Amino acid sequence: MTGRLAGKVCVLTGAARGIGAAVTRAFCREGAAVHALDRLGDELPAGEPGVTPWTVDLTEAAEVEAVFAAIHARSGRVDVLVNNAGIIFFRAIEDTAIEDWDRLIAVNLRGAFLCTRAVAAGMKARRSGAIINLSSNAGVRGGDNESAYCASKFGIEGFSRALAIEFRPYNVSVNTITPGHPVRTAMSETTYGAAQRAIWIDPAEIAPAFVHLAMQDASGINDRHVRAWDLVRELHAKETAP
Protein backbone atom coordinates (compact mmCIF):
# COMPACT_ATOMS: atom_id res chain seq x y z
CA MET A 1 0.00 0.00 0.00
CA THR A 2 1.16 3.51 -0.82
CA GLY A 3 -0.75 5.84 1.50
CA ARG A 4 -2.92 7.04 -1.37
CA LEU A 5 -5.69 8.07 1.03
CA ALA A 6 -3.45 9.61 3.68
CA GLY A 7 -5.23 12.49 5.39
CA LYS A 8 -8.62 11.54 3.95
CA VAL A 9 -11.66 11.21 6.21
CA CYS A 10 -13.86 8.40 4.92
CA VAL A 11 -17.29 7.16 5.97
CA LEU A 12 -18.47 3.66 5.04
CA THR A 13 -21.92 2.25 5.73
CA GLY A 14 -22.57 -1.46 6.09
CA ALA A 15 -19.01 -1.72 7.35
CA ALA A 16 -19.38 -4.69 9.69
CA ARG A 17 -19.29 -7.43 7.10
CA GLY A 18 -18.47 -8.38 3.54
CA ILE A 19 -17.57 -5.67 1.06
CA GLY A 20 -17.91 -2.91 3.65
CA ALA A 21 -15.48 -4.59 6.04
CA ALA A 22 -12.98 -5.28 3.24
CA VAL A 23 -13.11 -1.70 1.98
CA THR A 24 -12.74 -0.37 5.53
CA ARG A 25 -9.52 -2.35 5.92
CA ALA A 26 -8.23 -1.25 2.49
CA PHE A 27 -8.91 2.42 3.24
CA CYS A 28 -7.09 2.12 6.57
CA ARG A 29 -4.08 0.51 4.92
CA GLU A 30 -3.99 3.45 2.50
CA GLY A 31 -3.78 5.90 5.42
CA ALA A 32 -7.38 7.09 5.69
CA ALA A 33 -9.24 7.86 8.91
CA VAL A 34 -12.32 5.65 8.56
CA HIS A 35 -15.68 6.04 10.26
CA ALA A 36 -17.35 2.63 10.04
CA LEU A 37 -21.16 2.66 10.30
CA ASP A 38 -23.44 -0.32 10.75
CA ARG A 39 -26.53 -1.43 12.62
CA LEU A 40 -24.47 -4.44 13.77
CA GLY A 41 -22.33 -2.42 16.12
CA ASP A 42 -20.92 -5.43 17.95
CA GLU A 43 -19.37 -6.67 14.68
CA LEU A 44 -17.65 -3.41 13.77
CA PRO A 45 -13.85 -3.28 14.20
CA ALA A 46 -13.27 -1.85 17.67
CA GLY A 47 -9.78 -0.73 18.61
CA GLU A 48 -8.39 -1.12 15.10
CA PRO A 49 -6.01 1.76 14.25
CA GLY A 50 -7.62 4.32 11.98
CA VAL A 51 -11.18 3.07 12.45
CA THR A 52 -13.93 4.71 14.49
CA PRO A 53 -17.03 2.49 14.79
CA TRP A 54 -20.55 3.89 14.96
CA THR A 55 -23.70 1.89 15.63
CA VAL A 56 -26.56 3.43 13.66
CA ASP A 57 -29.81 2.51 11.94
CA LEU A 58 -29.39 4.23 8.58
CA THR A 59 -33.14 4.35 8.03
CA GLU A 60 -33.66 6.67 11.01
CA ALA A 61 -33.03 10.30 10.06
CA ALA A 62 -32.39 11.48 13.61
CA GLU A 63 -29.77 8.77 14.21
CA VAL A 64 -27.99 9.53 10.94
CA GLU A 65 -27.96 13.26 11.64
CA ALA A 66 -26.56 12.69 15.14
CA VAL A 67 -23.80 10.36 13.94
CA PHE A 68 -22.68 12.68 11.15
CA ALA A 69 -22.73 15.64 13.52
CA ALA A 70 -20.42 13.66 15.81
CA ILE A 71 -18.18 12.67 12.87
CA HIS A 72 -17.86 16.28 11.77
CA ALA A 73 -17.13 17.37 15.34
CA ARG A 74 -14.39 14.75 15.64
CA SER A 75 -12.81 14.88 12.17
CA GLY A 76 -13.92 18.25 10.83
CA ARG A 77 -15.13 16.99 7.46
CA VAL A 78 -15.93 13.98 5.30
CA ASP A 79 -13.84 13.54 2.14
CA VAL A 80 -15.20 10.20 0.96
CA LEU A 81 -18.62 8.62 1.46
CA VAL A 82 -19.29 4.99 0.55
CA ASN A 83 -22.97 4.09 0.70
CA ASN A 84 -22.57 0.32 0.89
CA ALA A 85 -25.30 -0.88 3.30
CA GLY A 86 -27.94 -3.08 1.71
CA ILE A 87 -30.34 -5.96 2.21
CA ILE A 88 -32.11 -8.30 -0.20
CA PHE A 89 -34.97 -10.77 -0.39
CA PHE A 90 -36.51 -12.74 -3.26
CA ARG A 91 -40.29 -12.78 -3.30
CA ALA A 92 -43.14 -12.64 -5.80
CA ILE A 93 -44.81 -9.24 -5.75
CA GLU A 94 -48.09 -10.63 -4.41
CA ASP A 95 -46.20 -12.24 -1.53
CA THR A 96 -44.21 -9.12 -0.66
CA ALA A 97 -45.42 -7.59 2.58
CA ILE A 98 -45.64 -3.81 2.60
CA GLU A 99 -43.41 -3.58 5.67
CA ASP A 100 -40.73 -5.72 3.97
CA TRP A 101 -40.82 -3.56 0.83
CA ASP A 102 -40.57 -0.41 2.95
CA ARG A 103 -37.66 -1.79 5.00
CA LEU A 104 -35.62 -2.77 1.94
CA ILE A 105 -36.17 0.56 0.20
CA ALA A 106 -35.34 2.35 3.45
CA VAL A 107 -32.02 0.55 3.95
CA ASN A 108 -30.88 0.48 0.32
CA LEU A 109 -32.08 3.89 -0.88
CA ARG A 110 -33.26 6.11 1.97
CA GLY A 111 -30.06 5.41 3.89
CA ALA A 112 -27.94 6.54 0.94
CA PHE A 113 -30.03 9.70 0.68
CA LEU A 114 -29.71 10.53 4.37
CA CYS A 115 -25.94 9.99 4.45
CA THR A 116 -25.35 11.92 1.24
CA ARG A 117 -27.48 14.81 2.49
CA ALA A 118 -25.34 14.88 5.64
CA VAL A 119 -22.07 15.41 3.72
CA ALA A 120 -23.29 17.45 0.74
CA ALA A 121 -22.90 20.97 2.10
CA GLY A 122 -19.38 20.35 3.37
CA MET A 123 -18.18 18.76 0.14
CA LYS A 124 -19.65 21.58 -1.91
CA ALA A 125 -18.11 24.23 0.32
CA ARG A 126 -14.66 22.61 0.09
CA ARG A 127 -15.13 21.87 -3.63
CA SER A 128 -13.75 18.42 -2.98
CA GLY A 129 -14.99 14.91 -2.31
CA ALA A 130 -15.96 11.51 -3.63
CA ILE A 131 -19.26 9.65 -3.25
CA ILE A 132 -19.42 5.93 -4.08
CA ASN A 133 -22.83 4.26 -4.12
CA LEU A 134 -23.19 0.47 -4.15
CA SER A 135 -25.23 -0.74 -7.05
CA SER A 136 -25.77 -4.15 -8.61
CA ASN A 137 -26.58 -5.91 -11.84
CA ALA A 138 -30.11 -5.50 -10.45
CA GLY A 139 -29.67 -1.77 -10.97
CA VAL A 140 -29.43 -2.14 -14.74
CA ARG A 141 -31.67 -5.13 -15.46
CA GLY A 142 -34.59 -6.89 -13.83
CA GLY A 143 -34.49 -10.14 -11.91
CA ASP A 144 -37.06 -12.79 -11.09
CA ASN A 145 -38.75 -12.15 -7.74
CA GLU A 146 -36.48 -9.12 -7.20
CA SER A 147 -38.98 -6.28 -7.65
CA ALA A 148 -38.07 -4.61 -4.34
CA TYR A 149 -34.30 -5.06 -4.71
CA CYS A 150 -34.31 -3.95 -8.35
CA ALA A 151 -36.42 -0.91 -7.48
CA SER A 152 -33.87 0.08 -4.84
CA LYS A 153 -30.84 -0.40 -7.09
CA PHE A 154 -32.41 1.27 -10.13
CA GLY A 155 -33.15 4.05 -7.64
CA ILE A 156 -29.48 4.18 -6.61
CA GLU A 157 -28.51 4.51 -10.27
CA GLY A 158 -30.94 7.38 -10.89
CA PHE A 159 -30.02 9.03 -7.60
CA SER A 160 -26.34 8.88 -8.51
CA ARG A 161 -26.74 10.15 -12.08
CA ALA A 162 -28.62 13.17 -10.75
CA LEU A 163 -26.06 13.75 -7.98
CA ALA A 164 -23.22 13.64 -10.49
CA ILE A 165 -24.80 16.57 -12.34
CA GLU A 166 -25.48 18.46 -9.11
CA PHE A 167 -21.98 17.95 -7.68
CA ARG A 168 -19.93 18.36 -10.85
CA PRO A 169 -19.60 22.18 -10.48
CA TYR A 170 -18.16 21.57 -7.01
CA ASN A 171 -15.49 19.11 -8.22
CA VAL A 172 -17.07 16.18 -6.34
CA SER A 173 -17.13 12.79 -8.07
CA VAL A 174 -20.19 10.55 -7.84
CA ASN A 175 -20.08 6.96 -9.08
CA THR A 176 -21.95 3.71 -8.66
CA ILE A 177 -20.07 0.47 -8.28
CA THR A 178 -21.04 -3.18 -8.55
CA PRO A 179 -18.72 -6.11 -7.78
CA GLY A 180 -18.61 -7.32 -11.39
CA HIS A 181 -17.74 -10.82 -10.17
CA PRO A 182 -19.35 -13.16 -7.62
CA VAL A 183 -18.10 -12.13 -4.17
CA ARG A 184 -18.44 -14.12 -0.97
CA THR A 185 -20.42 -12.08 1.57
CA ALA A 186 -23.09 -12.74 4.17
CA MET A 187 -25.66 -11.72 1.54
CA SER A 188 -24.27 -13.96 -1.19
CA GLU A 189 -24.12 -16.89 1.23
CA THR A 190 -27.92 -16.88 1.06
CA THR A 191 -28.46 -15.78 -2.55
CA TYR A 192 -25.81 -17.45 -4.73
CA GLY A 193 -26.31 -20.78 -6.45
CA ALA A 194 -23.72 -23.49 -6.98
CA ALA A 195 -22.28 -21.96 -10.17
CA GLN A 196 -21.60 -18.61 -8.50
CA ARG A 197 -20.21 -20.23 -5.36
CA ALA A 198 -17.77 -22.18 -7.49
CA ILE A 199 -16.07 -18.99 -8.67
CA TRP A 200 -16.72 -16.45 -5.92
CA ILE A 201 -13.84 -14.40 -4.57
CA ASP A 202 -12.99 -12.68 -1.31
CA PRO A 203 -14.31 -9.09 -1.22
CA ALA A 204 -10.76 -7.89 -0.47
CA GLU A 205 -9.97 -8.61 -4.12
CA ILE A 206 -12.30 -5.84 -5.33
CA ALA A 207 -11.42 -3.34 -2.58
CA PRO A 208 -8.69 -1.65 -4.71
CA ALA A 209 -11.43 -0.40 -7.04
CA PHE A 210 -13.01 1.48 -4.14
CA VAL A 211 -9.63 2.99 -3.22
CA HIS A 212 -9.22 4.21 -6.79
CA LEU A 213 -12.70 5.77 -6.88
CA ALA A 214 -12.08 7.41 -3.50
CA MET A 215 -9.14 9.24 -5.09
CA GLN A 216 -11.25 10.74 -7.90
CA ASP A 217 -12.71 14.21 -8.32
CA ALA A 218 -15.12 15.45 -10.97
CA SER A 219 -12.34 15.66 -13.55
CA GLY A 220 -11.50 11.96 -13.17
CA ILE A 221 -13.75 8.92 -13.11
CA ASN A 222 -17.17 10.46 -12.59
CA ASP A 223 -20.84 9.73 -13.30
CA ARG A 224 -19.99 6.10 -14.07
CA HIS A 225 -21.42 2.67 -13.31
CA VAL A 226 -18.20 0.85 -12.47
CA ARG A 227 -17.65 -2.91 -12.40
CA ALA A 228 -15.15 -3.29 -9.57
CA TRP A 229 -13.52 -6.51 -10.83
CA ASP A 230 -12.97 -5.00 -14.28
CA LEU A 231 -11.44 -1.86 -12.78
CA VAL A 232 -9.12 -3.91 -10.55
CA ARG A 233 -7.87 -5.87 -13.56
CA GLU A 234 -7.41 -2.68 -15.54
CA LEU A 235 -5.38 -1.11 -12.73
CA HIS A 236 -3.28 -4.26 -12.33
CA ALA A 237 -2.55 -4.32 -16.04
CA LYS A 238 -1.31 -0.73 -15.92
CA GLU A 239 0.84 -1.40 -12.86
CA THR A 240 2.50 -4.44 -14.44
CA ALA A 241 2.88 -3.08 -17.97
CA PRO A 242 6.52 -2.92 -19.12
Which residues on neighbouring strands pair with residue 178, listed in sequence order?
227
Task: List the catalytic residue out of 54, 68, 149, 167.
Answer: 149
Alpha-helical runs (H) found in the chain: 18-29, 61-75, 98-105, 111-126, 147-167, 186-191, 194-199, 207-214, 228-240
N- to C-terminal Cα separation, the chain: 20
143 Cβ contact list (under 8 Å, min separation 6) = 137, 149, 150
Cβ pair 173, 222 in contact under 8 A? yes
Residue 90 to residue 191: CA distance in whole angstroms: 9
Active site residue 149: yes
Active-site residues, by number, are 149
